[in-house]
Structure 1
């Protein structure tokens, strides 16, 4: 199983910021470098030393030391004085909390997500699009099948997960094309569709069907169905999906029984969000 965008190195900080500085005079290099240090931790469990942080960000060791010291003082990093290694601090959770509380999607979707999870005893997710990735914003796990690898904030390539495809299918053609142009069509499993023409045909079918169904394209042994959550302009602001195991369901069964559920739930959330527009 592979995740994208959370795995370090996220990008080489100096190269990225030099490019941004050339094209955007308002870009603040020091801020970008500080955020690069936080992103260097990715989804790794192990703590990082200064040399590793420098390697993952493209910063020199002296600059890495200054940024890690500042972020530690602010509480966004924690330092083990014995090993002189760093981990992300609990204060990082403030950003996730602020994002969720400021977004009406969370308050509207939570009761519906819980209801679907309780009725069907399957994991229910709501994901949002971030460039080429689908990012989990809400997750209610099944009590019978806990996937510890999926948590709020997990990101996966949108092209190969059900929520991502549901959002891609409802994007205006020019926006969809732009995202697919930037997408790295990596094969996560032997079942992943990486041919762009085949994927675009699948997205057209999803638009016609009203839901997306994906089987073992991101994770072996897993299948999922999802439907888009639309704003007042009928543009996708998120997608709601049900994820389950191939040990319990076939895709034919999921299409028959679970696809109407995700469509109804996504429609209910969309109706409650009428008048609110994402950007």
Structure 2
């Protein structure tokens, strides 16, 4: 007789508006014989902890990962044993552990971009006294990989690893504007043009027009399209072939800066910083 699967009886009942994650059973594994579905399920469990939730129970994890309770129990048990999840034995709920940061550490220190860019980013921050970021393009999104906060304006919600839509961010537009037309079209085809503020430009044709302006001027400027009260300026970090590797940007408050002042004083800072980083990385390519 096969052993019975143990179920976490203390986990909360299913339902309650839990958002479902992408169904891995309907993903690439159906067509790709090399695809490891169990690995995809394990990563799906980790992605269930998306920052909008406190500690999760087993049923919540199963629902948000679109997997069975039995699979959720085996995967969470494995991740606890490996140290990537922590379990409260009293409540039988789970949290991500600090060991998850190992992946970010290894990613940043395996790339020359991080080591090379840090002194230039620090210099730019000291020069303009505003928060300076470096972001990499990842499909239709940008991911923050370096952040040097301003001493006078702290934004605790913006951290390394944060993802934002590329179409409406300065760092995203600064990289999209330098992509070949076929790659740009592919990314825009996959973009969900949803507004983040009442000022977000969601018309694709207008976004493309802004990209043309950014390419012509050498920088992208976004006025309250991601967060109300925020202006951002960014310029691309380019490889030797003129392909964007990342973008360096400055974000600041409309309480301290106007769009005109940002163009006049911040745009030269990000363009010069991007040029210096690009020169220092000359000859390096991600692949």
| TM-score under structure 2 length normalisation | 0.92
| Change in CA separation of 1:153 and 1:177 when aligned onto 2, cut-off 3 Å | same
Structure 1: segments with no counterpart, 5+ residues = 1-7
Distance 1:64 1:110 in 2: 40
Does 2:72 match 1:60?
A: no
Give CA-to-partner distance per residue, 1:28-58, whole Å, 9 cap, x none. Answer: 0010000000011012351111111111110
Give CA-to-partner distance per residue, 1:6-40, whole Å, 9 cap, x none. Answer: xx95832xx33433122211110010000000011
Structure 2: segments with no counterpart, 5+ residues = 1-17
The 3-state SS of whatever aligns with 1:206 is helix
Question: Which residue in the other structure is 2:189 paired with?
Answer: 181
Q: How many residues align?
A: 270
Does 2:80 match 1:79?
A: no
Q: Relative to total residues, which structure has the larger helix share, 1 or 2?
A: 1
Distance 2:19 2:284 in 1: 36
Give CA-to-partner distance per residue, 1:66-98, whole Å, 9 cap, x none. Answer: 111100110011111111111111110100000
Distance 2:203 2:227 in 1: 18
**Residue in structure 2 matching 1:251, options 252, 259, 276:** 259
**Residue in structure 2 matching 1:242, options 226, 250, 253:** 250
- Cα RMSD between the aligned structures? 1.2
| Change in CA separation of 1:10 and 1:182 when aligned onto 2, cut-off 3 Å | farther
Distance 1:118 1:182 in 2: 37
Question: Which residue in the other structure is 1:107 paired with?
Answer: 115
Question: Which residue in the other structure is 2:31 paired with?
Answer: 23
**Residue in structure 1 matching 2:283, options 254, 263, 275:** 275
Cα offset, 1:221, TM superposition: 0.5
Distance 1:173 1:254 in 2: 28
| TM-score under structure 1 length normalisation | 0.94
Question: Which residue in the other structure is 1:11 paired with?
Answer: 21
Q: Which runs of 4+ in 1 moved over 4 A?
A: none
